[in-house]
């Protein structure tokens, strides 16, 4: 376990595709910090360009989109997303894309070169930053930045609405048209703060309602026992190799289950009460935790 000292609180963490670097944003920082995990220190800072009022914007959004696109945004003042080709020695983005209106957030997905942009009034846009192709806006029946995930084969999309998870098929994955009726609905116990994620095998999906559980994505039936934890979940992730399920609570407790047996194989208490984010490295060897404390905790998973 390593603890990297940060000058700001951490709201989001993202690994580089080769697992060598960790990107962090948070607080009122106007830059994304690039951490060299071998050296254990910040190797670079990447700033969003100044806006029309010549002000530096606070970075609120960061995602990596395959194969090598780093995307930064600030929903506070801007209608733009800024794209860097990674690795990059340049501070200026290679492309700036206008969303046409203020956005609430952006999200990328495992093994996908696509980004979901959330707008106000429940409007969503799929956008391919590789080709700069953006698809027509559609109205979703889930609001705000509700948890959403796309399966790694690009055929299924799931989102949270009220106390349930709805799983839909794409009619045409290349145009992101969604079927009118869900293929499965998961009815959950708790309304407050839960997350979802597809397993890399695509046929399973985890939901972090208390207790957490793994379901068959086609039938909606549970395939795991109840995976108990206390508090609110702020991070949920399968390792990319599919062997482990990780769950982080606001109290700074990390639970790790083996996905073959669903036995809990490790629990870490980091002694913090304001954890906010969890990221898992693409090589499945480490994970990183950040939050309202001035450090990033990197945990070895092997």
- Give the pair of three-digit tokens for residue 47: 């700033």
Question: Within a domain: residue 13?
Answer: yes
Question: Within a domain: residue 162?
Answer: no
Question: Within a domain: residue 284?
Answer: no
Task: Evaluate whether 101 touches 79 at the Cβ level (below 8 Å).
Answer: yes
Strand partners, 148: 159
Range of the domain at 96: 1-142
Between residues 130 and 200, the one the model is more confident about? 200
Question: Within a domain: residue 58?
Answer: yes
pLDDT at res. 107: 85
pLDDT at residue 242 tops 90: yes
Question: Within a domain: residue 287?
Answer: no
Q: Which helix (H) or strand (E) holds 133?
A: strand 133-134
What is the overall mean pLDDT for the chain?
Answer: 86
CA–CA gap between residue 60 and residue 75 (Å, rounded): 7
Q: What's the total number of domains in the chain?
A: 1
CA 169-172-177 angle, 5° bins: 70
Q: What is the pLDDT of residues 189-239, one digit of tens each?
A: 655 557 999 999 878 999 987 789 999 998 889 999 999 998 889 999 999
pLDDT at res. 77: 60
- Backbone φ and ψ for 231, nearest 5 degrees, come out as 90, -170
Q: What is the pLDDT of residues 54-111, one digit of tens each?
A: 778 889 999 988 888 899 988 766 678 888 988 876 667 877 877 777 777 888 887 6
Question: Within a domain: residue 8?
Answer: yes
pLDDT at residue 43 tops 90: yes
Confidence of residue 180 (pLDDT cuts 50, 70, 90): confident
Question: Within a domain: residue 61?
Answer: yes
pLDDT at residue 167 tops 70: yes
CA–CA gap between residue 21 and residue 281 (Å, rounded): 9
CATH number, domain of 138, equals 2.130.10.10
Question: Within a domain: residue 192?
Answer: no
Provide, rounded to the nearest whole percent, the portion of the chain with pLDDT above 90. 43
């Amino acid at each position: 376990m390593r603890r990297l000292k940060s000058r700001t609180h951490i709201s989001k963490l993202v690994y580089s595709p080769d697992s060598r670097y960790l990107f962090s944003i948070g607080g009122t920082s106007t830059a994304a910090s690039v951490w060299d995990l071998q050296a254990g220190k910040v190797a670079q800072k990447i700033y969003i360009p100044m806006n029309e009022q010549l002000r530096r914007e606070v970075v609120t959004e960061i995602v990596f989109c395959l194969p090598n696109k780093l995307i930064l945004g600030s929903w506070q003042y801007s209608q733009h997303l800024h794209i860097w080709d990674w690795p990059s020695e340049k501070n200026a983005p290679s492309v700036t894309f206008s969303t046409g209106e203020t956005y609430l957030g952006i999200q990328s997905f495992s093994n996908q070169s696509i980004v979901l942009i959330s707008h106000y009034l429940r409007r969503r846009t799929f956008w391919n930053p590789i080709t700069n192709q953006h698809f027509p806006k559609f109205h979703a029946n889930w609001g705000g930045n509700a948890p959403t995930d796309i399966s790694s084969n690009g055929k299924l999309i799931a989102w949270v609405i009220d106390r349930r998870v709805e799983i839909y098929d794409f009619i045409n994955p290349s145009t992101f048209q969604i079927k009118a009726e869900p293929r499965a609905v998961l009815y959950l116990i708790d309304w407050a703060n839960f997350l979802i994620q597809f397993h890399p095998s695509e046929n399973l999906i985890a939901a972090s309602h208390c207790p957490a559980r793994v379901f068959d994505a086609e039938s909606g039936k549970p395939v795991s026992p109840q995976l108990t934890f206390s508090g609110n979940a702020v991070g949920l992730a399968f390792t990319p190799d599919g062997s482990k399920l990780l769950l982080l609570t606001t109290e700074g407790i990390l639970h790790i289950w083996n996905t073959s047996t669903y036995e809990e194989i490790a629990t870490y208490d980091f002694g913090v009460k304001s954890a906010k984010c969890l990221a898992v490295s693409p090589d499945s060897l480490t994970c990183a935790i950040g939050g309202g404390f001035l450090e990033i905790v990197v945990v070895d998973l092997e």
